């Protein structure tokens, strides 16, 4: 089984602390603004290291994913862009047109991450007042119209949230962009099963992840569909176990406990079932916030969304990835602070091990760029 490795584009800024910590610590390192020059540096490095795509988040506190990634197309040649956006903020026909144009201009380098949204306060900023389950109902209709407009035949549809007549695009995209979608609630799982290509979830211990994937897999089978599966997780990979956990401890030491308590209180009120599952892991963690051997929940102290990290030596991180791959996980969307340096730690330390284990397609990796080194070297709330 060959897996797909993706990285993360820090469009709300970057730095040496868990995102959000900088403004609350006088001794924090200088943050790195999400300038085009810096994001291009990350994108080019990720492409050279052999990653397939970069996830670009959506939300109030990050730059628009469509515009940012379009600006980076000429900075890269093979890297794909996994563009996150909320279906409630745009017409599905317009989204279909944007995606079709993007595919044509990028030579087929677009992937889509549909984010229904699980924080009512954030949704209200964008004029969205639907409740949790009705948002997922709208997402299902959105994806129906989106795919209909891509079909090459004018598409008519009448539903509760959308009514279109003759929805189409000038040039149907080829290839059709893969649709990544996440949602841990029953409503979210059902939309994924019926409409997504890849079900993407924030990372929990393998047993809990397996339960979630098995449920979505069974739902998809009832629709006569087969999905691929992905996890979103941070990573701290070093030459030795001790170095990796020392880095995790350093990140945790630079988190203000008062700010962490404030964030935890705020996260407790969100509607997202996935966020509740992430937050609950902290309560069950050991003293160093390890919820499973090599799975650290420290990011979740102040960061919404993906709250766990794979921590360990390069071989240990490769072992964990193999363990999740054995559950049927095809896509790994990774990140680390800072995103430039951590991409190199992983790319030079872990990717060669995955290739040796047969978890990476040699031809696919070499076509994206490769890494050969086996030893390592050297206040925002955005859920992703």
**Predicted pLDDT of residue 62:** 86
**Predicted pLDDT of residue 303:** 83
**Predicted pLDDT of residue 21:** 52
What is the C-alpha R_g of the chain?
A: 20
Domain edges within the chain = 4-234+312-368
Is residue 169 within 8 A of residue 100, CB to CB? The reply is: yes
Angle at 216 between CA 336 and CA 360, to 5 degrees: 45
**Predicted pLDDT of residue 260:** 86
Whether this prediction's pTM lies above 0.75 is answered by yes
Is residue 92 within 8 A of residue 167, CB to CB? The reply is: yes
Is residue 334 within 8 A of residue 202, CB to CB? The reply is: no
Class of the domain covering 4-234+312-368:
alpha beta
What is the residue-level pLDDT of the chain in tens, covering all 384 positions?
799 999 999 999 999 988 755 544 444 556 889 999 999 999 999 999 999 999 999 888 889 999 999 999 999 999 999 999 999 889 999 999 999 999 999 999 999 999 997 677 777 777 777 888 899 999 999 999 999 999 999 999 999 999 999 999 999 999 999 999 999 999 999 999 999 999 999 899 999 999 999 999 999 999 999 999 999 999 999 999 999 999 999 999 988 888 888 888 888 777 778 778 888 888 878 889 999 999 999 998 888 778 899 999 999 999 999 999 999 999 999 999 999 999 999 999 999 999 999 999 865 544 444 443 333 333 334 455
Count of CB atoms situated within 10 Å of the CB of 107: 10
For 136-172, b where at least 16 C-beta lie within 10 A, e where not — what string?
bbbbbbbbbbbebbbeeeebebeeebbebeebbbeee
Beta-bridge mates of residue 246: none
**Predicted pLDDT of residue 20:** 59
């Amino acid at each position: 089984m060959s897996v797909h490795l993706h990285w993360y584009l820090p469009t709300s800024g970057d730095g040496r602390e868990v995102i959000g910590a900088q403004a609350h610590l006088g001794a924090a390192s200088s943050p790195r603004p999400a300038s085009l020059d810096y994001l291009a540096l990350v994108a080019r490095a990720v492409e050279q290291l052999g990653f397939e795509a970069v996830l670009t988040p959506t939300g109030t506190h990050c730059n628009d994913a469509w515009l940012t990634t379009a600006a980076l197309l000429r900075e890269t040649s093979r890297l794909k862009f996994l563009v996150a956006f909320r279906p409630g903020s745009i017409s599905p026909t317009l989204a279909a047109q944007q995606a079709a144009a993007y595919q044509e201009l990028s030579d087929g380098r677009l992937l889509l991450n549909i984010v229904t949204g699980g924080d009512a306060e954030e949704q209200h900023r964008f004029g969205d007042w639907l409740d949790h389950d009705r948002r997922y109902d709208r997402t299902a209709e959105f994806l129906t119209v989106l795919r209909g407009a891509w079909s090459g035949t004018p598409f008519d549809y009448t539903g509760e949230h959308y009514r279109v007549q003759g929805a189409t695009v000038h040039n149907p995209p080829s290839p059709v962009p893969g649709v990544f979608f996440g949602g841990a609630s029953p409503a979210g799982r059902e939309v994924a099963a019926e409409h997504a290509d890849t079900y993407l979830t924030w990372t929990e211990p393998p047993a809990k992840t397996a339960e979630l994937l098995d449920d979505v897999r069974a739902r998809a089978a009832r629709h006569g569909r087969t999905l691929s599966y992905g996890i979103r997780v941070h990573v701290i990979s070093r030459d030795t176990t001790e170095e990796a956990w020392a880095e995790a401890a350093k990140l945790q030491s630079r988190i203000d406990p008062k700010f962490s308590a404030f964030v935890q209180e705020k996260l407790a009120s969100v509607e997202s079932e996935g966020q509740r599952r992430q937050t609950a892991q902290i309560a069950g963690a050991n003293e160093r916030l390890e919820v499973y051997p090599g799975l650290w929940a420290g990011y979740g102290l102040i960061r919404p969304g993906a709250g766990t990290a794979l921590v360990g030596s390069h071989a240990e991180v490769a072992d964990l990835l193999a363990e999740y791959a054995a559950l049927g996980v095809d896509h790994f969307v990774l990140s680390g602070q800072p995103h430039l340096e951590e991409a190199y730690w992983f790319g030079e330390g872990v990717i060669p091990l995955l290739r040796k284990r047969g978890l990476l397609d040699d031809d696919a990796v070499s076509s994206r760029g490769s890494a050969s080194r086996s030893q390592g070297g050297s206040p925002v709330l955005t859920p992703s």
